[in-house]
Amino acid sequence: MDEKVLLHVEGMDCANCAVTITKTLSKEGLKEVKVDFLSGEVTFDKKDNKEINSAVSTIQRLGYKVKNPNIGEEPVVEKSIIGESNTKQKFFISLVFTLPLFFHMFLPFSFLHNPVVQLLLCLPVMYIGFTHFGKSAYYSIRAGVPNMDVLIFIGSTSAFIYSIFGLISFYGTETVNTYLFFETAATIITLVLLGNLIEQRSVKQTTTAIKQLGMLQPPFAKKIIIKGLEEEIVKCEAKELQKGDLILINTGDSIPTDGKIQSGKGTFNESMLTGESQPVYKTVGDPVTSGTILEDGNIRFIVEKTGNETLLARIIELVKAAQHSKPEIQKLGDKISAIFVPVVLLISVCTFVFYYFFTDVLLSRALMNSIAVLVISCPCAMGLATPTAVMVGLGRAAKNGILIKGGTTIESMSGIKTVVFDKTGTLTTGNFKIKKINCIEGDENTIRQVLYSLEKNSSHPIARSVQTELKSYSSSAFEWKQIQEDKGIGINGTDSNGDLYSAGSFQMVKHFHQDAEHEIYLLKNNKLIATIDMEDEVKKGVKEVVEELQKSGMRVVLLSGDRKKNCENVASQTGISEIYSEKLPEEKLAILDRLMKENPTAMVGDGINDSPALAKATVGISISDASDTAIQSSQVILLAGNNLDNLTKAIALSRMTFQTIKQNLFWAFFYNVIAIPIAAAGFLNPMIGALSMAFSDVFVIGNSLRLRKRKIK
């Protein structure tokens, strides 16, 4: 299996820069290349270290810098840096030389009107423009994806070369002043650099969610080392912890890694991971999660997971991976961006030709109109429209205990019209209690022993509840020669004597038994020996969630493998009118398929038997205490598993994010459709055009940042 490589790159100024790197690396044979301009991350699959060396060389040849690649060792950098400091330095140097050039039009100092002085002031700015924009423009053209820097470079260079021509041809005459546009060339570069600087600072605000999640893990831990009868507490780095280490946590401390409480008790603040505001009480045997805070108490816990195995690390990786996923709507922006620069160049040339050959304006005026078209055009706004909104939306969702796997999921979930719920463990707590054991053969003690021995091998919510209730039988549990679980039906075990025991739903016995009023049926050698009645409770707040979904125009459906009586009981308590009960996994898929043909449909579940339906649905939504299989099958994970309020938040956030994407794309298209004709008509000075172009990006990013504060409806 290929290994995933992560490199951090400095110097990407716009989304088209990312496209340039992506296409170039792909042409060189690298697989699964993904480049994120916002975070400065480049990922790809590699088979050997030669590919890493080659990728780094290619990226640097394109004019970008790879930050500490550590070739041949670990090709992951400690943190992502967008080259703000470098751009800031270039901007201020350019500003120093541009201000005298710009203000010579308003100041009476005669030396500023000297063409040679203007040339000398312009040269440093042009050098910065050549190295900053020219290099990027050249390599983007080589890669077959001309970017915004092509427009900026051609525009500023045209004004500069025209001024040089006038200076050489008419130096010492009055005519020379009609050819001097050094201030235009310098101002274009300086203003675009200012726009890049503001853009980079704004972009950083859209990437704060991952950084904040990463900061949840404390850098140090208090490890307990036992030496004979004495204990020593040693402060060590959290990344050095190993499985089995004993860690001390006092009131106010953050948990450095995942583990299980060995001694002590306390209340934990888990809101930063689950969005659940209420503190959670935990004691011996309960799990603790990296990044959560012990608000009150004192505990010792055993380390069970470290590094990338922890829940916090998995959340960060899920969010980062999700940010690379593009919604379908972005394809329109990508298609337009791919042809944008050539089209603008053509419009610019046509503008020059029209004014110079078909009107009576001067050459200088025709050139300025042509340059204005180049510098007011902004392909970056289209490139930033989607990823900035996705970045902020996913980040806010993660802070609310909602993991959304990518921009595609956001787009899909924003259009959901039907929500299908599983029952057990989703609408109900899954904390079943044994109400009654009806013995048909044998004594109740043996029935309990067999029941525990079978159900301890299942992850179904009812099975987990049986395990909890009958845990006193753990010491006398059967040893099975063979154990097998049939999804949606039950579990079978063969003992050392060859006897076959089975525990399952009515589906297991319906071919010979008519009474479907029990939760569990226990068989020995295919003969019914006991039935078990269970009780479950509806989760707190579910009724309000269902009502809110229905008020927003959603169709709410209950789809379960449980008995009709139990489903109707839950439906009556939650306000759900459409019920499908006693359905096998394949029957669930058939019903789901029919619902999806009518409307985009979300499936909310948690069990192994829900996995096919979760994968089949338009959007699969699982809760945090779901099985790993269900989580892998889902596009949305609600970390606060006992609080379905996050479901309505997830849908609302998706709609808000997708609405922001559409607003951004509309602005990007509208700006260019209006601005380019205005510039071509000669109503814009190139310097004003450069300023407008720079701030069109900032407008898009600012609109995306609004998602951080908007009220979730």
Q: What is the pLDDT of residues 225-256, one digit of tens each?
A: 988 778 889 999 988 899 999 999 999 899 99
The side-by-side arrangement of strands in the sheet containing 601-605 is 402-404, 636-638, 619-623, 601-605, 418-421, 555-559, 578-580
The whole-number pLDDT of residue 331 equals: 66
Q: What is the DSSP letter of 431?
A: -
How far apart CA 413 and CA 406 sit, in angstroms, is 11
pLDDT score for 551: 93
136 pLDDT more than 50: yes
Confidence class of residue 559 from pLDDT cuts 50, 70 and 90?
Answer: very high
Query: Three-class SS of residue 318?
Result: helix
pLDDT of res. 413: 92
Type of residue found at 161? I
Strand (E) positions, 270-384?
280-282, 287-288, 293-305
Report the pLDDT averaged over residues 504-517: 88
pLDDT at 81 over 50: no
Q: Which parts of 359-475 fold into alpha helices (H)? A: 363-376, 379-399, 407-414, 444-455, 461-469
Non-local CB neighbours of 325 within 8 Å, separated by 6+ positions: 390, 405, 406, 407, 408, 409
Whether 422 is catalytic is yes
Average pLDDT over residues 428-443: 85
Q: What is the pLDDT of residue 1?
A: 47
Whole-number Å distance between alpha carbons of 559 and 660: 33
User: Tens digits of per-residue pLDDT, 352-380?
Assistant: 999 999 998 888 889 989 998 988 887 77
Confidence category of residue 94, pLDDT binned at 50, 70, 90: very high
Give the least confident one: 96-105, 407-416, 523-532, 651-660.
Answer: 96-105
Q: At residue 710, what are phi and psi to the nearest 5 degrees?
A: -60, 145
Q: How confident is the model at residue 421 (pLDDT cuts 50, 70, 90)?
A: very high
Question: In angstroms, rounded to a whole number, what is the distance separating the alpha carbons of residues 313 and 574?
Answer: 36
At 268, which helix (H) or strand (E)?
Answer: strand 258-269
pLDDT of residue 69 exceeding 60 = no
Q: What's the pLDDT at 632?
A: 67
DSSP letter string, 197-229: HHHHHHHHHHTHHHHHHHHTS-SEEEEEEEETT
Amino acid at 370: S
pLDDT of residue 659: 93
Buried b (16+ CB within 10 A) or exposed e, 586-612: eebbeebeebbeeebbbbbbbbbbbbb
User: Which of 255-264, 613-622, 689-698 bottoms out in mean pLDDT, i.e. has the lowest?
Assistant: 689-698
| pLDDT of the residue at 637 | 85
Helix orientation angle between 686-705 and 148-170, rounded to the nearest 10 degrees: 160
Q: Which of 24-28, 83-87, 491-495, 644-648 has the highest mean pLDDT?
A: 491-495
Provide the 10 A C-beta neighbour count for residue 519.
23
Q: How do residues 566-608 score in pLDDT, each as one tens digit? A: 888 899 999 999 999 888 777 888 999 999 999 999 999 875 5
Nearest to 195 by CA among 599, 698, 620: 698
- pLDDT-based confidence at residue 72 (cuts at 50, 70, 90): very low
Q: What is the pTM of this model?
A: 0.67
640-642-646 Cα angle (round to 5): 50
Q: Token pair 């959304």 is at which residue?
A: 404
Is the predicted pLDDT of residue 156 greater than 70, yes or no? yes
636-638 and 619-623 beta bridge pairing? parallel
What average pLDDT does the chain have? Answer: 83
**Of 63 and 709, the one with more pLDDT:** 709
Q: Is 270 or 455 the better-scoring residue by pLDDT?
A: 455
Beta bridge partners of 602: 419, 619
Question: How far is it, in rounded angstroms, from Cα 309 to Cα 337?
Answer: 39
- The three-state secondary structure class of 704 is helix
Using CA atoms, how far apart are residues 703 and 202, in angstroms rounded to an integer?
A: 11
Locate 310 and state its tokens: 């922890």
Which residues are paired to 527 by β-bridges? 524
Closest CA to 417 of 241, 588, 159, 651: 651
Give the pLDDT band of residue 64 (cuts 50, 70, 90): confident
What pLDDT, on a 0 to 100 scale, did the predictor assign at position 38? 65
The yes-or-no verdict on residue 80 having pLDDT over 70 is: no
pLDDT tens readout for residues 250-266: 998 999 999 999 999 99
| Rounded average pLDDT over 68-91 | 54
Identify the pLDDT of residue 275.
53
Among 106-115, 361-370, 493-502, which stretch is predicted with the lowest mean pLDDT? 106-115
For residue 561, report the phi and psi dihedrals to the nearest 5 degrees.
Answer: -90, 0
What gap in Å lies between CA 262 and CA 253, rounded to an integer? 17
SS (HEC) of 544-593: HHHHHHHHCCCEEEEECCCCHHHHHHHHHHHCCCEEECCCCHHHHHHHHH
User: Which single residue is written with the structure tokens 């071919």?
Assistant: 511
Q: Between the ranges 374-378, 431-435, 486-490, 617-621, where is the mean pLDDT highest?
A: 617-621
Distance CA 7, CA 77 (A): 7
Q: What percent of the chain has pLDDT over 90?
A: 27
Q: Average pLDDT of 396-421?
A: 87
Residue 483 has pLDDT above 90, yes or no: yes
Q: Which ranges in 66-134 belong to alpha helices (H)?
A: 84-103, 115-129
421 or 172, which is more confident: 421
Burial class (CB in 10 A: 0-12, 13-18, 19+), 29: exposed
Catalytic residue among 36, 149, 253, 422: 422
Identify any residues that bridge with 296 across adjacent strands, giving them in sequence order. Answer: 267
- DSSP state, 709? T
**Contact (Cβ atoms closer than 8 angstroms) between residue 576 and residue 556:** yes
pLDDT for position 76: 36
Q: What average pLDDT does this structure show over 518-531?
A: 94
Nearest 5°: phi and psi at 572?
-65, -30
- Check residues 471 and 334 and name the one with the higher pLDDT: 471
Per-residue confidence band for 629, with pLDDT thresholds at 50, 70 and 90: low
Q: Tell me if 374 sits within 8 A of 152, measured CB to CB.
A: yes
